[in-house]
Structure 1
Amino acid sequence: PESTLVGWCGRAMKTLSPLIERIEADIMVSDLLHADDTPIRVLDRSRRDKGLGKGVKQGRIWAYVRDQRPWAGTSPPGAVYRFAPNWKEEHVLGHLADARGILQADGYKGYAKLYEPEPGGPSRLREAACWAHLRRDFHDFWASTKSEIAREALDRIGKLYDIERDINGQPADVRHAARQKLSQPKVEAFFAWSEQQILRIPGKSDLAKAFRYGLSRQEAFSLFLTDGRVAIDNNPAERALRPIGIGRKNWLFAGADTGAETLARAMTIIETAKLNGLDPQAYLADILDRIHDHKINRLDAILPWNWAPLNAAHSEAA
C-alpha cells in the first residue's frame, strides 16, 4: 500500500537524519553556493476541513549546490534541499544564516538582505548573477517577435558561452586569465550596447525589462570576470531542481508539510550521491543496512564522497 511505502520513506529519512545533517553542515558553509527554488503543491488538511477551497497550498523547495568541478576545486559536489511552506524571505535568511562568500542565484528579492553590508564591514555574501537567466529573457522575446535587437543580444551572450566551453574544468587562475583577456571586453561592450538600445525601444516592453534587469545588476553579472571560481550562470542549481519538476508530474502534491520535509531530506542524500558518481539505490541500501551499528563519531566515513560499500571497506581493513 502507498501508505506503507510513505511510512517506510519517512522512517528511513529519520534514521538517516544524522548523516543528512552532516551533508548539510558541510555544504552550507561553503564560500561559493548556487541557489534556486521551485514551487511544490502541498495538501493542507486544515483548509479543506474548514471548507476553504480544495485544501492544497503552494510551498517552496530550495536547492543549494556546491560544485567546484568546473574550476578543478578540491571540495566534493553536493546539494542541500530545504522545504518552506511559503516564499517569504525569512526562509532563505535562515537557510543562509552562516553562509559567507559568494551566492549565485536569480533576482529573487528575498536574497537582497544577504547582499547588504554588515555594520562596520562588507556584506556577508556577494551576488553573482546568472547569464542563462538573462539570455532566457531575450530568447523568449526573440521567439515571439523575431526582434533583431533580441537576436543580437543572444549572439553577444553566445560568444561569452563559447569562451566558457573552452575553459570549463580548468583551474581558477586559468579561467580568470582567459576571462580578463577575452570575456571582459565583450561584457563591457554588451552593457554599453544595452544602454544605447534601451533608449530606442518602448520602455514597457519585455525587451526593455530584459535590458533593465541586466543593467541594474551589472556588478553581479560581471563578478565571474574577477573570480575564476564563479560560474557564468546558475545552471547547477537549476539542474538540481529538475527532479522536483519531473516528480510533480507523478505525485502531484506532498501529503503534508512533513511529507515535503521528508522529500527535501531524501533529495539531499540522493542527489548528493548522484553528484558524486554513486548509484543512489546501492548507496542507500548499504547505508540503511549498517547505519544502526555505525558509530556516530565516524559519520564522515559514510558521506557520499567518502563512502565505500561495506564489503569493500572490510576488504581494505583486512
Structure 2
Amino acid sequence: QEPAPSRPIPRSMAGPGLLAYILTSKFDDHVPLYRQHEIFERMGADIPDTTLVDWCGAAMRTLTPLIERIEADIMASDILHADDTPIRVLDRSAKSKGLGKGVKQGRIWTYVRDQRPWSGAAPPGTVYYFSPDRKGEHPRKHLKNSAGILQADAYTGFKALYETRADGSAQFREAACWAHLRRDFHDIWTGTKSEIAKEALDRIGQFYDIEREIKGLSADERHAVRQQKTKPKAEAFHAWAEAQLTRIPGKGDLAKAFRYGLSRWLSFTLFLNDGRVAIDNNAAERGMRPIGVGRRNWLFAGSDTGGETLARAMTIIETAKMNALDPQAYLADVLSRIHDHKINRLHELLPWNWTPASTVNCKAA
C-alpha cells in the first residue's frame, strides 16, 4: 500500500484545501479569524479562534522554504520599488504610547519587482517584511544583499543606501516618484485653486501622456522616446519651476513642493536615462493597497509574531496574484505537495514556475 501523503501540518487534522481557504480568506479577502470561526460554526464545524491562529502560523512555517526562495529571487533584482505603511499591533506589555493602552504601531515594508512595463524577462513579485518600528536599520537590513536602482519616497531611512562610497560607487541609485510630487501640487490646487499648481499638474500630466504611449515597449524603445519627447519637457519644467520660486512666498506649501522636486532633480530624471526605470513608485503603492484594505477589517495584528505571519502570507499570496494565479488554488496545491517535494526542485513550486499537480500527473500518465 502506498504511504499516505504528508499532512501540511504534522499531526493536525487540517488539510491543504481547508488551510488554503483560511489563509486566503484572512490575508487576501481580509476576513478576520473570529469571523471565520462564526462562518465555520454556521456550517456545523466548531473551530476555535486559537486553533485558527495556530493553523495560520504553522502553515506559514510549512511554506517558509518556498517564501524564502521568493524573497531571495526578488531581492536579487537590480531594480526595486519600495514603500512602507503603519499597522496597529497589540502590545501585551501595555507600555505603548500614542495609540491607546495595549496598542503600538508596527510597520509593513514592501519591495516590488515588476518588469512588465518594459517587457523585462524576470517574473513579477513582491516581498513584505514586518518591523516593530520605522527605524532606518530595517530597510538597510532588508536590502543589505541588494544593489542597483531603488525607487521609493524621500524617507530618510533610505538615505544611507544612496551615499557614495570611498571608491565612488553607491549601493543604490535613487529614482524619485513623480506621482508623489504630482500629489503635492494636486493637494495645493484642490485647496487653494492656485493657477501655478494647476500649471504644474498640466506639465507633469504631459509626462504621463507619453508614458501611456510607451507602456510595454522595450527598455531601449522607451529610452529613445523619453529622450526625444519627455526630456525637453522636463528641462522646461525645471526652468519654469526655478522661475516660480522667485515669484511666490518662500515658506508656503507651493514653494515647498517646488523645492522638493528641484533638490532631488537627478533622482526625478533618472527615468529619462534608463528605459527600465518607471516614472513613479506606483508599483509599490499598489503593493501596499491590500494592507490598507486589511487594516479596516482586522484593525490590528495580535502580536509582533502576527505581523511577521502577515508579511510572509502577503509575500506568497500577492506574488501568486501578480503571476495571474488563483491564490487559494495555488496554496492548496503547494501545501499538499511541499513536504514530499524534493528540496533541490523546490523552485518548481515558485509562483512563476508552478504547474498544478493534476496537470503534472496527467503528463506523467
**TM tier, smaller:** over 0.9
Which shifted more, 290-299 or 164-173?
A: 290-299
| Match in the other structure for 1:162 | 209
- Distance across 2 between alignment mates of 1:20 and 1:42: 23
Q: How far 1:197 sits from its partner (Å)?
A: 0.6
Structure 2 unmatched ranges of 5 or more: 1-47
2:305 maps to 1:255: no
- Distance across 1 between alignment mates of 2:186 and 2:201: 7
Q: How far 1:297 sits from its partner (Å)?
A: 1.0
- Distance across 1 between alignment mates of 2:188 and 2:270: 26
- Distance across 1 between alignment mates of 2:244 and 2:92: 51
- Distance across 1 between alignment mates of 2:205 and 2:129: 33
**62, 79, 82: which one pairs with 1:32?**
79
Which shifted more, 300-309 or 190-199?
A: 190-199
- How many percent identity over aligned positions? 71
AA aligned opposite 1:120: D
Show the 5 A alignment for 1:216-235. 216-235=263-282
- Distance across 2 between alignment mates of 1:2 and 1:139: 45
Show the 5 A alignment for 1:236-251. 236-251=283-298
| Match in the other structure for 2:190 | 143
Q: How far 1:2 sits from its partner (Å)?
A: 2.4
Q: How far 1:314 sits from its partner (Å)?
A: 1.7
**180, 188, 201: which one pairs with 2:227?**
180
2:173 maps to 1:126: yes
Structure 1 unmatched ranges of 5 or more: none
| Match in the other structure for 2:161 | 114
Q: How far 1:47 sits from its partner (Å)?
A: 2.0
Q: How far 1:49 sits from its partner (Å)?
A: 10
| Match in the other structure for 2:136 | 89
SS in 2 for 1:16: helix
Q: Are the aligned partners of 1:38 and 1:61 in contact in 2 as well (CA < 8 Å)?
A: yes
TM-score, scaled to structure 1? 0.98
Deviation digits for residues 159-190 of structure 1, max 9, x if unmatched? 00000000001000000000000000011111
| Match in the other structure for 2:16 | none
Q: Aligned in 2, Cα 1:53/1:242: closer, same or farther, shift over 3 Å?
A: closer
SS in 1 for 2:355: coil
TM-score, scaled to structure 2? 0.85
SS in 1 for 2:94: helix
| Match in the other structure for 1:203 | 250
| Match in the other structure for 1:280 | 327
AA aligned opposite 1:6: V
The alignment yields a C-alpha RMSD, in angstroms, of 1.3
**54, 57, 60: which one pairs with 2:104?**
57
- Distance across 2 between alignment mates of 1:176 and 1:48: 53
- Distance across 2 between alignment mates of 1:313 and 1:204: 65
Q: Are the aligned partners of 1:47 and 1:53 in contact in 2 as well (CA < 8 Å)?
A: no
Q: Aligned in 2, Cα 1:151/1:291: closer, same or farther, shift over 3 Å?
A: same
SS in 2 for 1:82: strand
Q: Are the aligned partners of 2:96 and 2:103 in contact in 1 as well (CA < 8 Å)?
A: no
2:331 maps to 1:307: no
- Distance across 2 between alignment mates of 1:175 and 1:106: 23
2:65 maps to 1:18: yes
Q: Are the aligned partners of 1:20 and 1:269 in contact in 2 as well (CA < 8 Å)?
A: yes
SS in 2 for 1:33: strand
2:318 maps to 1:294: no
| Match in the other structure for 1:98 | 145
Q: Of the two, which has the highest radius of gyration?
A: 2
| Match in the other structure for 2:24 | none
- Distance across 2 between alignment mates of 1:48 and 1:27: 37
- Distance across 2 between alignment mates of 1:240 and 1:280: 16
- Distance across 2 between alignment mates of 1:15 and 1:231: 36
Q: Are the aligned partners of 1:41 and 1:253 in contact in 2 as well (CA < 8 Å)?
A: yes
SS in 2 for 1:83: strand
Deviation digits for residues 139-178 of structure 1, max 9, x if unmatched? 0010000100000000000000000000001000000000
- Distance across 2 between alignment mates of 1:2 and 1:118: 51
Aligned residue pairs total: 317
Q: How far 1:113 sits from its partner (Å)?
A: 0.4
| Match in the other structure for 2:29 | none
Q: How far 1:118 sits from its partner (Å)?
A: 1.7
Which shifted more, 61-70 or 191-200?
A: 191-200
Q: How far 1:48 sits from its partner (Å)?
A: 5.4
Q: Are the aligned partners of 1:129 and 1:233 in contact in 2 as well (CA < 8 Å)?
A: yes
**259, 265, 283: which one pairs with 1:212?**
259
AA aligned opposite 1:288: L
Q: How far 1:53 sits from its partner (Å)?
A: 4.8
AA aligned opposite 2:236: A
